[in-house]
């Protein structure tokens, strides 16, 4: 009875479509789990996300789970995750995507998962890093490590939302540093973010990681939003 009363006050709804969730569902309803626009890029070595980084940074593989469309369900999910405190969304999506990545030869041997970090000021203001929740979900379903603080953002860059491709790259150039790099030496690392648009942030972060001896870098994101 108590659970039913709480459900009346705080109804559990799908963060993608807004419909009520059944008891066994978490964050995303079963219908949306099957019908959100998946890219299946993890099955396709030369996919658009991988091509984005050709000639820019050497990556082992790259992929995104969903296609991003303005006013679509994926955008709504990401808005709830990033700005509405719905941290469980990132973990839930990470678990789902991690299960699929483990079926791909490109990603099945990932040893370490690292989120693109927020600057300390933004992290304090928001209270959490949405990419870290995604990384934690991936780590759980892929059996990989998810160490904290390996990649750090030293400069509080401006928002990327309305910047051109060049301005996005210029905005994040040389703002990341690596701490305790010995923890990831000679490992296959998966660098993750919430959305990939131009790839400028991922490129800058991967450039910093590439300085660690023997490291192999792959990339994954929740969504891909081509310009």
pLDDT digits (tens, 9 = 90+) for 82-94: 999 999 999 999 9
Residues in Cβ contact with 81 at an 8 Å cutoff, skipping those fewer than 6 apart: 15, 87, 89, 90, 130, 133, 194, 222
Same-domain pairing of 110 and 214: yes
pLDDT over 60 at 8, yes or no? no
Same-domain pairing of 217 and 131: yes
Same-domain pairing of 187 and 200: yes
Domain limits for position 13: 1-35
Q: What is the mean pLDDT of residues 28-38?
A: 97
What per-residue confidence (pLDDT) applies to 187?
A: 98
The values of phi and psi at residue 44, to 5°, are -130, 100
The percent of residues above 90 in pLDDT, for the chain, comes to 83
Residues in Cβ contact with 211 at an 8 Å cutoff, skipping those fewer than 6 apart: 178, 181
What per-residue confidence (pLDDT) applies to 167?
A: 59
What per-residue confidence (pLDDT) applies to 174?
A: 74
Same-domain pairing of 7 and 98: no
Same-domain pairing of 183 and 123: yes
Tally the domains of the chain: 2
5-14, 81-90, 200-209 — which is least confidently predicted? 5-14
Residues in Cβ contact with 227 at an 8 Å cutoff, skipping those fewer than 6 apart: 165, 197, 198
Same-domain pairing of 160 and 189: yes
Same-domain pairing of 103 and 9: no
30-39, 62-71, 167-176, 209-218 — which is least confidently predicted? 167-176
What per-residue confidence (pLDDT) applies to 162?
A: 52
What per-residue confidence (pLDDT) applies to 7?
A: 46
What per-residue confidence (pLDDT) applies to 73?
A: 97
User: Considering the entire predicted model, what is its pTM?
Assistant: 0.90
pLDDT over 90 at 74, yes or no? yes
Same-domain pairing of 53 and 29: no
pLDDT over 70 at 160, yes or no? no
């Amino acid at each position: 009875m108590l659970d039913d009363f709480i459900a009346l006050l705080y109804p559990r709804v799908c963060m993608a479509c807004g419909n009520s969730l059944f008891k066994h569902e978490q964050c995303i309803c079963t219908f949306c789990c099957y019908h959100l626009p998946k890219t299946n890029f993890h099955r396709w070595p030369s996919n658009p996300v991988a091509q984005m980084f050709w000639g820019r940074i050497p990556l082992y593989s790259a992929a995104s789970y969903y296609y991003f469309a303005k006013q679509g369900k994926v955008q709504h999910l990401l808005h709830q995750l990033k700005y509405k405190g719905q941290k469980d969304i990132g973990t839930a999506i990470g678990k789902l995507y991690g299960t699929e990545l483990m079926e791909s030869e490109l990603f099945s041997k990932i040893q370490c998962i690292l989120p693109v970090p927020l600057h300390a000021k933004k992290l304090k203001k928001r209270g959490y890093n949405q990419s870290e929740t995604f990384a934690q979900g991936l780590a759980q379903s892929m059996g990989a490590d998810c160490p904290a603080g390996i990649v750090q953002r030293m400069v509080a860059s401006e928002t990327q939302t309305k910047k051109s491709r060049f301005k996005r790259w210029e905005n994040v150039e040389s703002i990341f540093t690596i701490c305790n790099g010995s923890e990831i030496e000679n490992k296959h690392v998966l660098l993750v973010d919430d959305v990939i648009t131009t790839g400028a942030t991922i490129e800058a972060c991967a450039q910093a990681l590439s300085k660690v001896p023997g490291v192999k870098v792959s990339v994954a994101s929740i969504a891909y939003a081509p310009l």
